[in-house]
Amino acid sequence: MKRLMNYLQGMVRLTASGPFPERLINLCAQSRLDFWAVEWLDEHSVRLTTRRRAMGRLQQLAEKVGCTIQVEKSRGLPDFLCRFRTRYAFLIGLALTLCAVAFLSRFVLVVEVTGNEQVPTAVILSQLRQLGVRPGVYGPSLDRQQIAQEALLKLDGLSWMGINLHGTRLEVIVREAVPEPERVDETGYYDIVARTGGMILHVEAEQGDAAVKEGDTVAEGEVLISGLVTMEPPLYSELPTRYYQTHARGRVWARTWRTLTAVIPLTAQVKQYTGAQETVWSVNFMGKRFEIFGNSSISWPLYDKITTVRQGALPDGTVLPVSLVRETCREYEMAAVEIDTQAAQTLLEEQLLSQLEKLVGEQGVVRSTRTQAWVEDGMLKVALHSECEEEIGLELPSQVPMPEDGTSEG
């Protein structure tokens, strides 16, 4: 630490010559002037080191004892800065650089979002941009608490937001809301009907009366579990049969046979590039675009645009609000060509199989499939015949009227 302080204050290595140089050393000690590295050269000369600021006082003491002072060398921060006292351009540039750093460090360069899993970061940043939070904004001017409250009102799925400013980095911390559990709708009177025809394999009636049993064949729209519940009277009693309506619930599994079809033209329109090409270079700085090379005005009716972005970043991976963008436009014309029939058939089969898996659901099982393909009227047609096991129940409002007075003569 002492060596650092000596460097900051500056040090001078000098030689004192006179009839009695030891008297100078004694006066320096009495005046509490710091000196060190004393080296006797001869009887009338001594070499020592002192601080730069003590030179004036040392000269006065040397005159009292008839000694002369000769400076051999000096070093330290003051000597380093003195080298530039005549370099005005450097000093002006240094001053402007320090001012720029002090001023620009007040602007936001990076906006980071943490704590979100379900709500996309892009959605949060878009909403904050509408509220004035973006790279390039003056950080101290932001009312961070007010902005966080307004953003929460606009963003669904968030329960809390905090905004912290760390120099040029704006940190947005969010907490997502816990989703409300799905409520079971108990209102209204519903039946469970078949959403497709099939042969019943299993019936699980949780509420309501099962209208079918295993082995029955049902058509689309037929009632599987009725919301009209029948209450039979005790055996040998003369009480009437009673009814009440409820929201039918349950699951009905069935074996189904489905036929799905798809078509595709035997000719297709494809792109043929003409060879004409234009390239535009631009720079995006703090959300603003500046063109630096090329013409962005394209007169071609049909063209593809390929955009390549080189984002600026710090060595630690922090993204900066500056990027170099290259946009390449390639002109093309549309031309009709015949398609590969085998490849088209394979594509349609894959699409039909994917559609079938969505229809039977995650718990459904496709037991077997068979495909058929043919050409008709310039179109390739493919049919997929399948046998599946799936849950076919569908809740619909009950269409069965309530018996009068809720009773029936038994």
What would the DSSP string read from start to end of 177-211? PPPPPPPP---S-EEEEESS-EEEEEEEEEESEE-
Distance CA 365, CA 346 (A): 22
Distance between terminal CA atoms of the chain?
Answer: 108
Q: What are phi and psi of 154, to 5 degrees?
A: -90, -25
Q: Is pLDDT larger for residue 403 or for residue 161?
A: 161
Mean pLDDT on 340-362: 92
125 compared with 95, residue with greater pLDDT: 125
Provide mean pLDDT across the span 273-281: 90
Q: Tokens in use for 225?
A: 């579990």
- Identify the structural domains of the chain with CATH numbers, from first to last: 2-82 (3.30.70.260), 268-337 (no CATH)
Q: CA-to-CA distance for 234 and 127, rounded, in angstroms?
A: 67
Least-confidence region, from 12-16, 157-161, 242-246, 258-262: 242-246
Q: What would the pLDDT profile of 165-180 be if each residue is shown by its tens digit?
A: 888 889 999 999 887 7
Strongest mean pLDDT among 28-37, 55-64, 119-128, 222-231: 119-128
pLDDT of residue 410: 35
Spatial separation of the C-alpha atoms in residues 82 and 355, rounded to whole Å: 81
Is residue 181 over pLDDT 80? no
DSSP E strand stretches across 18-145: 35-42, 45-51, 68-75, 110-114
CB of 332 closer than 8 Å to CB of 304: yes
Q: Rg of the Cα trace of the chain?
A: 45
Q: Which amino acid is at 332?
A: Y
Q: In the predicted model, what is the mean pLDDT of the chain?
A: 85
pLDDT of residue 185: 60
Give the residue among 176, 206, 174 at the shortest CA–CA distance from 190: 206
Instruction: Please state, in angstroms and rounded to a whole number, the distance separating the CA atoms of residues 322 and 388.
Output: 56
State whether residue 67 is helix, strand or coil.
Answer: coil
State the pLDDT confidence band at 197, using cuts at 50, 70 and 90: very high
pLDDT at 406 over 60: no
- Torsion 226-228-233-238 (CA) sign: negative
- Lookup: tokens for 182: 């799905």
Place of tokens 């599987």: 224
Quote the pLDDT of residue 22: 86
Task: Quick: pLDDT tens for 303-316.
Answer: 999 999 998 887 77
What pLDDT does 43 receive?
85
14: exposed, middle or buried (C-beta count within 10 Å: 0-12, 13-18, 19+)? buried
Contact 196/386 with Cβ under 8 angstroms?
Answer: no
Q: What is the pLDDT of residue 409?
A: 39
Specify the pLDDT at position 124. Answer: 92
Least Cα distance to 148 among 165, 135, 168 occurs for 165
- Cβ-Cβ contacts under 8 Å for 114 (sequence gap 6 or more): 171, 172, 173, 174
d(CA 308, CA 328): 8
Residue 373 has pLDDT above 90, yes or no: yes
Report in angstroms the alpha-carbon separations of 239 from 34, 147, 234, 401: 121, 70, 8, 21
> What's the pLDDT at 408?
41
Which pLDDT score, from 0 to 100, does residue 184 have? 59
Q: Bridge-partner residues for 45, per DSSP?
A: 17, 42
Q: Can you give the length of the chain in residues?
A: 410
Q: Which residue would you say has higher pLDDT here, 234 or 262?
A: 262
Residue 199 has pLDDT above 90, yes or no: yes
CA atoms within 13 A on the CB side of 144: 16
What is the arithmetic mean of pLDDT over 315-323?
78
Residue 120 φ/ψ region, left for φ over 0, alpha for ψ in the -120 to 50 degree band, beta for the rest: beta
Tell me which amino acid residue 350 is. Answer: E
Ramachandran angles phi, psi of 84, nearest 5°: -105, 10
User: Of residues 104 and 64, which shows the higher confidence score?
Assistant: 64
- β-partners of residue 172 are 113, 163
Which of 74-88, 321-335, 363-377 shows the lowest mean pLDDT across its residues?
A: 74-88
Q: Is residue 263 pLDDT above 60, yes or no?
A: yes
- pLDDT at position 405 is 55
> In this model, does residue 330 exceed pLDDT 70?
yes
Q: Tokens in use for 200?
A: 């019943």
The alpha-helical segments, DSSP class H, found in 293-340 are none
Q: State how far the Cα of 321 lies from the Cα of 318, in Å rounded to an integer.
A: 10
What mean pLDDT do residues 120-146 have?
A: 89
Say how far apart CA 58 and CA 41 lie, in whole Å. 19
State the average pLDDT over residues 373-379.
Answer: 90
Query: Residue 25: is its pLDDT beyond 70?
Result: yes
CA distances from 226 to 118, 246, 250 (A): 39, 9, 10
The pTM of the full predicted model, rounded to 2 decimals, is 0.52
**Residue 86: both structure tokens together:** 């005549």
